[in-house]
Amino acid sequence: MTPRCCALTVLTCLSLISPLSIAATGGGGAAAPARTHDYPTEGRVEYVLGCMDDNGHDFANVYKCSCAIDKIAKVLTYDDYVEQSTFSKYATLGGEGGAEFRVDRAKAQTKRYRDLQKDAFKACGIKGK
In a shared domain, residues 6 and 26: yes
Q: Are 91 and 110 in contact (CB under 8 A)?
A: yes
* Tens-digit pLDDT profile for residues 16-66: 334 433 344 444 445 555 577 899 999 999 999 999 999 999 999 999 999
CA atoms within 13 A of residue 13's CA, in its CB half-sphere:
9
In a shared domain, residues 14 and 46: no
In a shared domain, residues 27 and 47: no
Q: Is 129 within a domain?
A: no
Helices (H), 56-103: 60-75, 78-89
Single pTM value for the model: 0.69
The total of structural domains in the chain comes to 2
Q: Are 73 and 39 in contact (CB under 8 A)?
A: yes
Q: Are 126 and 65 in contact (CB under 8 A)?
A: yes
Q: Is 45 within a domain?
A: yes
In a shared domain, residues 118 and 82: yes
CA distance 66 to 64: 5
Domain holding 95, by residue range, is: 41-124
